[in-house]
Amino acid sequence: MTAGIALAVVLWLGVLARLPAIRQNRRQLVLWGSLVSGALAVTVAVPALDAGRDVPMVAQLLGVVSAYLLLRLISLVTGSGRVAWQRGLTAATLIFLVLAGRHGVPASPARLTAGLTPLETAYWVVLEGYLAAVLFLAGWACATVRRAAPAGALRDGLLAMGAGSLLMAGYATGKLLLVLTRGAGVHLDFAVWEPYPNALRAAGLVLFVAGGTAPPVARLRSALGAYRQLLVLRPLWNAIREAFPQVVLMPPARSALLFPGSAGARLRVYRRVIEIRDGMLALREHLPACPAAPPGEDPAVTEARALIEALRRRERGEPPADPGGSWATVGPEMADEVAWLSRVSAAFRVLRRSAGARTPRPAGSPR
């Protein structure tokens, strides 16, 4: 796989990662459009780059469109910039590039090394100058917005996007200087010098895409973590549901439909914890005073043993325990409850399996 193909793959992965967010607001849609335009530009350019031919002008025009959408994103985020001015500048740039390059523009290292006419030099100066200006603005905007962003994936993503924008601006500036030098009549071998700015462009694209996908990736990780917690809690929750079906306020399948996504998955984890606690409260009268745990035993295992014993006493119809026992005290935060009951559920599953008893598994989604 060539470097160009690898960059195209990275860009299209970024496009796919940002796709679910485009309905949130206009900024997300504009960022996605910028990524799509950039991905198309690289995809169009890759075959020519691999073959050593001139890159089609459409790839360069797509690069301008991608930069324009990035400029619009800066305006939407910072509340600065005039739309009419941005559109006019971009339209003038595109018109000039089309007119100046209508008979073809040298883009391969060999043809650039052979020499540039004044019109060809102007073509590259306008193109790279526009890209450099927009990318420097993007780096500044990311640094400005990052200061007010909350800590976490968003701030880290803005840092990566800002660094990527500045690296790509460095590419455009380097390419601009090479073209100006060659246009002035100084002999340059582009095959020797161009790989350096190209490396900046590749690194900048990777950083920009990684930063742009950091928030959705963080949400995906959060959702996967919540689903994992739902699965870990399932053995204990199933046993409680079988004993006290009234504590379950909503069927799992309906809950999954009503509360999708990362936030919905976390909400369902909290609901599951509350339902387990409601069942344990109803089960407490069947909990005998438990003997002290064996030395070195995990308290979660001790709690799971007590749960199994209380469920058995209730199933056999035994009278309330006298004296009764109590469940372990957990920290005040919901995260403490989730972590503790996850440990208890894991121990409950192992103990039920080792005892040869079947953990109830009613029909329906475990989520």
Spatial distance between the Cα atoms of 89 and 209, rounded to a whole number of angstroms: 26
Classified as helix, coil or strand, 184 is coil
- Region of 185 (left: φ > 0; alpha: ψ -120 to 50; beta: rest) is left
Which residues does 45 contact at the CB level (< 8 Å), separation at least 6?
4, 55, 56, 59
pLDDT tens, position by position, 47-59: 988 888 889 999 9
Residues of the chain with CATH 1.20.1070.10: 3-221
Closest by alpha carbon to 302, among 273, 241, 258, 343?
A: 343
How large is the average pLDDT for residues 141-152? Answer: 85
* Identity of the amino acid at 82: R
Least confident of 10-14, 81-85, 262-266: 262-266
Q: Is the pLDDT of residue 361 over 60?
A: no
Spatial distance between the Cα atoms of 345 and 98, rounded to a whole number of angstroms: 66
Supply the pLDDT for residue 257. Answer: 63
Supply the pLDDT for residue 112. Answer: 92
Contact 211, 161 (CB under 8 A): yes
Fold of 3-221: Rhopdopsin 7-helix transmembrane proteins (1.20.1070)
Supply the pLDDT for residue 225. Answer: 86
Closest by alpha carbon to 31, among 142, 130, 153, 152?
A: 142
Q: Which residue has the tokens 């840092």?
A: 159
Tell me the H-state helices in the chain. Answer: 3-18, 26-51, 57-78, 83-100, 109-114, 118-148, 153-183, 190-193, 195-243, 252-258, 261-283, 299-316, 334-354
Q: Is the pLDDT of residue 367 over 50?
A: no
pLDDT tens, position by position, 203-217: 999 999 988 888 777
Which band of pLDDT confidence, cut at 50, 70 and 90, is reported for residue 364?
very low
Percent of the chain at pLDDT > 70 equals 90
Q: Which residue has the tokens 């469920």?
A: 311
